[in-house]
Structure 1
Amino acid sequence: MIAKVMVENDLNDTISSLTTSHDIEGHKPKHCLVIKAGQYSDKGVKTANEDAIGIRIPSGLMLTTKGVVAAISDGVSTAEAGAAASAISISNFLADYYSTPDLWSVQKSSTQVLTALNRWLYGLGQDYRDARRGYVCTLSALVFKSRHMHLFHVGDSRVYRYRNGTLDKLSQDHTSIVGNNQRYLARALGLDVNVEVDYRMLALEEGDLYLLTTDGVHDVVTDFEVEQKLALFSQTQQSSRSSKHSTDEKCDRFCHELVDSALNSGSQDNVSCQLLCIDSLPEQTIDEVYQHLSRLPFPPPLSVGMKLDGYTVVDVLHQSERSQVYLVSNQQDDLLCMKTPSVNYLDDAAYIERFLLESWIGKRINSPYVVSIAERDKQKSALYYLTEYLDGQLLSQWIKHNPTPDIQEVLALLKQLEIGVRAFHRKETLHQDLKPDNLILTKDGQLKIIDFGSCFIKGIAEISSPLERDQLLGTADYSAPESILGYQVTQSTDLYSIAVIAFEMLTGQLPFNGKQQACKSKLDFVRLEYIPSYQINPLIPIWMDDALKKALSVTPQQRQADCSEWLFEMTEPVNTWQRSMAKPALIERNPLLFWRSLSVFLGLAVVLLALF
């Protein structure tokens, strides 16, 4: 199966400085990801070609958020549906990967697609008595995003990298030798309901050559021969800077010649290969990024009655050092909220980038418990974004007005919060600033998350930028220790913040007597004394406090696995005897007491050794 390179014109949108594929006039800048590619496949001496190959090189926003994908697959010769399996694998992987959310990381997107693809092939193969005779194939896929290459591999196809005169085999053959040196695939797509796929992430360098081959090629053409051919190709590339089309043709010609070499060497299998050349990598200076970000001017501070792009300011809802939020009405008298950046950060590129990301994230988080972004068809004259207007009160106000709340009412609100946060986590996005002031309770009793200013997006974090982005975000009283200390953040980080909110809703007080704000080191957090919530509010069950205390652990690994598990522990009573049998060790219950006791014991041991 011969598939030519696919180049697509995707939506030309911008994600602030992240969109390195277009400058302010809409033309391609000097520094962006440019990959020259070629591929070729032949049935060889066989009657049919069971190999499948495909490359997709998008443009615009898709090139930035998803990258370039190359994939090669070899249908297992002993499988009756091997050719169909390889064709399905390539076409579906190329299509489905680009259909995954932009917020997802490359690993998450590809793993989800491969898991679904494997189970589909396995299901199709159930019509055969032996799974090995069904829809079984190998798959090697490369995703080039920003300045990194992500490799996904299962089976005995191969991936090579040629860099600075050296050839490296990046993949490992998943084969087993049985009997008279007969090789069998130990891993492949469609072979079992579950599949283990190798994953690697490597940094790219300009001039890198990546070669993907099926076993019909590398079984007869030695690595030494491949290295010599790639060395010659690399020399011709460096000596002449040709146009894109001529370079792609050179890649095609190289693949054709390599396939011919395999056939001339006596290959008895289908023969396929792909070659990708890293021509340039995205790189921008801060001045270039700022020029791109500052296309739209900052609006001036607005007051009631003023108009901007047809929106009339009805009220000033919020003003701070970082932003302003206005209640505005459009020409149809619909009420909306308008958020504008503060002129204090007019020359701060990192701040502008994060402000632009807020609306971009909001459009991709679809949940009834998250404020929705209002679309605007006409061109904006200034930098701002619109959201739906929520008529209600902040959760911080609700807490003040309900010093002794009904526990069931609190649990009902926490359930809504958990669903809203789960919508972020499903898109590999962490909110990082969950607090009562970022939650609105509408008059009909619906809780909504209203702020995206501190979000961490795994998919965006993979994109390189010259900007020095803020790492310490959020509010000290509600942020997890790992967030404040600059450690790696996970979904457990948001769980900690939810637990703080829950504690405050139930007791009217912050946990740890509100001393967390002063913590600057891990030792400071370890020294915090947890006061049980039922001592403040006697109506709180002990088992509910256990769930709160666990979620407020200094160490993320000691918290619940996710927010759903925590909510279950908050709502479902657990037998006290069961809890006593599962009582955690002293180091988990009171780390400070454990280490103090251990120090005393070791000190006594030293004294005794000195005496005797």
Structure 2
Amino acid sequence: MRSRLQVSVGHCSDKGVKPINQDFLGWYSPREPQLGLKGIAFAMADGISTSDVSHIASDTTVSSFLNDYYCTSDAWSVRTAVERVVSATNSWLYAQGRNSPYCYERDKGYVCTLSALVLKSTYAHLFHAGDTRIYRLRNRGLEQLTTDHRTWVSSERSYLSRALGAAPEVELDYRSLPLQAGDYFVLTTDGIHEYCDANDLIRAIQHHRDNLDTAAKRITELALQRGSDDNLSVQIVRVDEVPTESSPVLHDQIEQLPIPPLLEAQASLDGYTIVRELHASHRSHVYLAVDELSGNQVVIKTPSIDLQGDEDYLERLLMEEWVARRVNSRHVQKASPPTRQRHYLYTVMEYIEGQTLAQWLADNPQPDLETVRGIIEQVAHGLNALHRMEVLHQDIRPNNLMIDAHGTVKIIDFGSARVAGIVEASTSADTAELLGTALYMAPEYFMGELGTTRSDLYSLGVLAYHLLSGKFPYDADVARTTTAASLLRLNYRSVLNDERAIPAWVDETLRKAVHPNPEKRYQELSEFTYDLRHPNKAYLNKTRPPLIERNPVAVWQGISAILAGLVILLLNQ
């Protein structure tokens, strides 16, 4: 039986001797599939005592965090999702302060601290700004995981050096830690931790481990007894169970749904009528079908019966539809909306009437430079949409690009995609399995490294090179790049030749896009597509490479012919 993340929580918040409580705390644990995709979130905020409105800031910060975090894309990593949510909240708080009568007095504005914790799969993700704290109790040892952002002017006077609402932008401390069953995480405001030390917290938690609310209340009472003159809040989280298998995002479908049989024309599958088979391989079968509800044509992809025990492949198959449903771009193939319950395991995507780029290239073996630019720019738009959702395609090549009847290029086939949010949700080790096509894959993949957006950019550069020349910049040498030394031995082959009129600065643009070192490539797709169309001044000063670099075979053939002629001439004398 597959285990899931389970926690126990206790908390207590009290105004203490203050007239109102400016502390706010909260937590939310969703059901699956959001539990696997987003995890369990906790937040604590403390308003500053010099402001009459900081309780609004702390209330807004906690409620926005818990609500908005679960509205972010499932594809985003925890860090990206939280930082975007907190950034939006900070902007709102700062704007409210600027529009108040105290716009020039930061200590009277909408300002608060924030300590947030997200437990996802087998990791804890911590976010922090201010002087609230997060501790971890493990094996009777209490460790403070956050750093107080407080600057002391004197032994009695200090101020917050970092907080929400204090500036147009906020910098969050971030760290992630592996989880263990039995771990405790303790969130406190300064009304607690300035009056209770580590031993106090440990004793209370250990003594009341069966009722964490009682433990939190006991800690609050102890701080009051010792003279705490501030609001007091404490939240205790115990990790009871940690997932032991891979992400449940798609796992339930794999466990519950059988693989459909081979389908023939006119067969019906969950309300789809099969028209014909489009493609078949040892891994999958692809069919053109008609949705009986809408009348629209769709593409149905079913796994091969021989792979019904390969859970990794089945998850990648279902991932294609999952990605397509979350990315909105006219240059990315769309998934059909889920309009009915499924009784088999398959994917349903939009039908693109057209041909693959590989088929188009067979009919147009030497496209002109302007046509190539148009194709590359469209693919770049699609990749940008994927990258905004923290998705790497990892297999950009002519067979995975469709050109529809209107000339629009669309990225298809997400079976090799890497999704940040899904990777975080997995408990299995990331082995950096090679899933792409060797001639288009960046060298870092073969060196065992994880890909980045620059890896997709490399593939796009290889695609542009191939469209212009019919060849590849490093041929098969790139697949043998497994060490730093072999990386240095990769020798770029110029795209220039005597048969096609390609400007030298375009060759330099391609050279940079497919540089073996990802740090020396373009940083953004837009930079590459811009330089592909506009001459970069740095490249204009470079001359056309000599013939021996552009076509060494032709040079040596010419030298051999000259030498042969000289030999014949000498023999005839």
Verify same fold: TM over 0.5: yes
Give the CA deviation at 1:290. Answer: 8.0
Secondary structure of the residue aligned to 1:136 is: coil
Identical amino acids, percent of aligned pairs: 39
Residue 217 of structure 1: how far off its partner (Å): 0.9
Match of 2:310 among 305, 327, 348: 348
- Which residue of the partner structure matches residue 542 of structure 1? 504
2:282 to 301, 305, 321: 321
The answer to whether 1:533 aligns with 2:495 is yes
**Alignment deviations for residues 467-490 of structure 1 (CA, whole Å, 9 cap, x no partner):** 887711100011111123321211
8 Å contact from structure 1 (residues 350, 468) kept in 2: no
1:425 and 2:384 are equivalent in the alignment: no
Query: 2:480, 2:498 → 1: CA distance?
Result: 22
CA distance in 1, matches of 2:115, 2:407: 50
Mapped partners of 2:10, 2:396: distance in 1: 48
Q: Which residue of 1 aligns with 2:570?
A: none
2:521 aligned to which of 531, 556, 559: 559
Measured in 2, the distance between the counterparts of 1:520 and 1:467 equals 21
Instruction: Note the C-alpha offset of 1:294.
Output: 3.7
Question: For the Cα contact (< 8 Å) 2:205–2:212, is it kept in 1?
Answer: no
Deviation at 1:466, TM superposition (A): 5.1
Could you list the per-position Cα deviations for residues 421-470 of structure 1 after superposition, in whole angstroms to 9, with x for gaps in the alignment?
11111111100111100000011010001111001011111123458877
Alignment of 1:65-464 (within 5 A): 65-127=37-99, 128-234=103-209, 237=210, 250-284=211-245, 293-331=254-292, 333-464=295-426
CA distance in 1 between counterparts of 2:52 and 2:252 reads 58
The aligned residue for residue 28 of structure 2 is: 56
Change beyond 3 A, Cα 1:377–1:576:
closer
**Secondary structure at the residue paired with 2:236?**
strand
Deviation at 1:523, TM superposition (A): 4.1
Per-residue Cα deviation, 1:135-161 (whole angstroms, up to 9, x for no partner): 111000000111111110111011111
Contact 2:114-2:164 within 8 A present in 1 as well: yes
How far did residue 507 of structure 1 move?
2.0
**Which whole-Å CA distance do the structure 2 matches of 1:520 and 1:312 have between them?**
48
For the structure 1 residues 522 and 315, does the alpha-carbon distance in structure 2 shift closer, same or farther, using more than 3 Å as the test? farther
Q: C-alpha distance in 2, partners of 1:341/1:150? A: 36
Give the alignment partner of residue 40 of structure 1, picking from 2, 6, 12: 12
Is the 1:75–1:137 contact (alpha carbons within 8 Å) kept by the matching residues of 2?
A: yes
1:485-521 deviation digits (Å, cap 9, x = unpaired)? 3212111110111111111112222223454455555
CA distance in 2, matches of 1:280, 1:212: 20
Query: TM-score, normalized by length of structure 1?
Result: 0.83
C-alpha separation in 1, matches of 2:475 and 2:155: 72
Distance 1:474 1:317, change over 3 A: same
Q: Distance in 1 between matches of 2:517 and 2:270?
A: 49
Q: Cα deviation per residue 1:284-310 (whole Å; 9 max; x = unaligned)?
A: 499xx9897242222223333443334
- C-alpha separation between the residues in 2 aligned to 1:292 and 1:466? 18
Q: Distance in 1 between matches of 2:437 and 2:471?
A: 16
Name the CA shift for 1:172/1:181 in 2 (closer, same or farther; >3 Å): same
> Structure 2 counterpart of 1:276, which letter?
V
Q: Contact 2:432/2:449 (CA < 8 Å) preserved in 1?
A: no
| Contact residue 162 and residue 230 of structure 1 kept, 8 A | no
| Alpha-carbon displacement from aligned partner over 1:369-391 (angstroms, at most 9, x marks no partner) | 11111124232232111111111
SS for the counterpart of 2:438 is coil
Find the counterpart in structure 1 of residue 3 from structure 2.
31
Per-residue deviation, 1:68 = 0.7
Is residue 432–residue 450 contact of structure 2 (8 Å, CA) maintained in 1? no
Cα distance change of structure 1 residues 395 and 210 upon mapping to structure 2, 3 Å threshold: same
The Cα shift of 1:187 comes to: 1.0
Aligned residues: 537
Amino acid across the alignment from 1:266: G
Inter-partner Cα distance in structure 1 for 2:367 and 2:348: 33
Give the secondary-structure state (helix, strand or coil) at the position aligned to 1:266: coil
Task: Look up the match of 1:3.
Answer: none
Aligned with 1:502 (options 429, 452, 464): 464
Q: CA 1:285–1:65 in 2, change beyond 3 Å: closer, same or farther?
A: closer
- 1:540 Cα deviation after fit: 2.2
Q: Secondary structure at the match of 1:533?
A: coil
Backbone CA RMSD of aligned residues: 2.3
CA distance in 2, matches of 1:285, 1:117: 33
C-alpha distance in structure 2 between counterparts of 1:510 and 1:351, whole Å = 29
Greater shift in the superposed pair: 463-472 or 375-384: 463-472
Once the two structures are superposed, the pairs formed by residues 450-489 of structure 1 within 5 Å of their partners are 450-465=412-427, 471-489=433-451
Mapped to 2, the partners of 1:292 and 1:409 lie a distance apart of 43
Distance (whole Å) between structure 1 residues aligned to residue 420 and residue 216 of structure 2: 35
CA distance in 1, matches of 2:252, 2:526: 44
User: For residues 200 and 376 of structure 1, what CA distance do their matches in structure 2 show?
Assistant: 37
Following the alignment from structure 2 to structure 1, what is the Cα–Cα distance between the partners of residues 492 and 188?
59
Indicate the SS of the match to 1:374. coil
How much does 1:406 deviate?
A: 2.7
- In the TM superposition, what is the alpha-carbon distance from 1:261 to its structure 2 partner? 1.4
Distance 1:353 1:45, change over 3 A: same
What amino acid is aligned across from residue 359 of structure 2 in structure 1? Answer: Q
Report deviation, 1:194. 2.3
Q: Give unpaired runs (5+ residues) of structure 1.
A: 1-28, 238-249, 581-612
TM, length-normalised to structure 2: 0.89
Q: Distance in 1 between matches of 2:398 and 2:439?
A: 11
In 2, the alpha carbon distance for the partners of 1:185 and 1:461 equals 36
Give distance in 2, aligned partners of 1:322 and 1:147: 31
Report the alpha carbon displacement of residue 62 of structure 1 after superposing the two structures with TM.
1.2
Separation (CA, whole Å) in 1 of partners of 2:56 and 2:133: 20
**1:201 to 1:470, Cα distance in 2 relative to 1, 3 A:** closer
Judged with a 3 Å threshold, the aligned counterparts in structure 2 of structure 1 residues 261 and 548 are, in CA distance, closer, same or farther, namely same
